Amino acid sequence: MRKFTFPLIVLFCLSFLSAQAQQTTVIVEDATETEDQHLKIGALAGLTLAMNTTDYNVQRVTRSLGLGSNFGVRASIPIGQKTRFVTGLGYHTLTFSDENERISFNDNIKDHSIDLPGTLTTEGTFQYTVFTAMFQFSSVFVGVNIGLPTSSEMKNSATGFDIPDGGIDPTDWYTPPRNEFNPDGRLIKKDITPEDDDINTLIELRLGGEFPLSKTAIGDLNLGISVGYTFQNIIKDSRDNLPHMHTNFWLPNVLFHLSYLFNI
């Protein structure tokens, strides 16, 4: 819960600023094109819902939406009557949670997977410092996020079986054990957090819309929704960990945000 506390505080502050602005200024019902040519600077905060698209090479996988956050500062620069260049710097958190009842340990051989004696839950959190560059046409915007990894965490937990501290080779569950099916010795471990240099830079296309909730002489309170899609795997290599996440490990996501931009 701690990682969501700050963005929620920012959301409250943005709402409070808007309420104060409406009490002290007249709301502009029909803003003219001239009035809308302000340089605007302010803050943004929102929540993300992300899903892991990793190809686990097995069936019996349940994928859940992970709740993350996004907050930072933003500037909106007019470049035409209804066109703006929007840039910003922020903090972007993406999370996921998947459940596997079958696991693949080596997809290069015929017998590469086995049913688990229970359910394996894999949860991950990836945090980035992101630079945003977008073009906004009226209420619609398209652009990119470039994110530098700042921290990450990936954990396995199990229901129906135990994961020892040193990990477990799933081929040990065969009778007799068939370790030759897992020549790379990949293990199910509790902590599978990737090394810092194994996390790729985030390159994310974003498409969405932002709609004014109120416009005053001081600034605008906006509600936005956008979808984001990453162009490359989140990590470079999952090493000897299971579940193996090398193919299609992307985190497409939806962002719901509030922003308050002051007129300059």
pLDDT tens digits along 125-181: 999 999 999 999 999 999 999 999 999 999 999 999 999 999 999 999 998 998 888
Q: Which residues sit opposite 202 in a β-bridge? A: 147
Q: What is the pLDDT of residue 238?
A: 63
The one-letter amino acid at 117 = P
CA distance 140 to 262: 20
Coil, strand or helix: which one is 59?
coil
Cα dihedral 57, 58, 62, 63, rounded to 10, equals 0
The answer to whether residues 96 and 64 touch, using CB atoms and an 8 Å cutoff, is yes
- Average pLDDT across the chain, whole number: 86
Q: What is the pLDDT of residue 168?
A: 94
Instruction: Name every residue whose Cβ is closer than 8 Å to that of residue 38 and which is 6 or more positions away in sequence.
Output: 78, 263, 264
Domains in the chain: boundaries: 2-263
Q: Which of 2-11, 102-111, 210-219 has the lowest mean pLDDT?
A: 2-11
C-alpha dist (Å) from residue 105 to 102, 112, 115, 164: 10, 6, 11, 18
Instruction: Name every residue whose Cβ is closer than 8 Å to that of residue 53 and which is 6 or more positions away in sequence.
Output: 248, 249, 250, 251, 252
C-alpha dist (Å) from residue 1 to 4, 134, 208, 237: 5, 30, 27, 29
How much of the chain, in percent, has pLDDT values that exceed 90? Answer: 66
pLDDT at 74 over 70: yes
- pLDDT tens sequence across 14-44: 454 444 444 434 344 444 444 578 999 999 9
Coil, strand or helix: which one is 2?
helix
Q: What is the pLDDT of residue 10?
A: 44
DSSP 3-25: HHHHHHHHHHHHHHHHHHHHHHS
Q: Which of 141, 132, 120, 240 is nearest to 192 (CA)?
A: 240
Query: Which listed CATH number (2.40.160.20, 2.60.40.10, 3.40.50.720, 1.10.150.170) goes with 2-263?
Result: 2.40.160.20
Q: What is the pLDDT of residue 37?
A: 87
Coil, strand or helix: which one is 164?
coil
pLDDT at 184 over 60: yes
Q: What is the pLDDT of residue 109?
A: 64
**Strand locations in the chain (E):** 40-50, 61-78, 83-104, 113-137, 140-159, 187-188, 202-215, 219-230, 241-242, 253-263
- Chain centre distance of CA 173: 35
6 — pLDDT class (breaks 50, 70, 90): very low
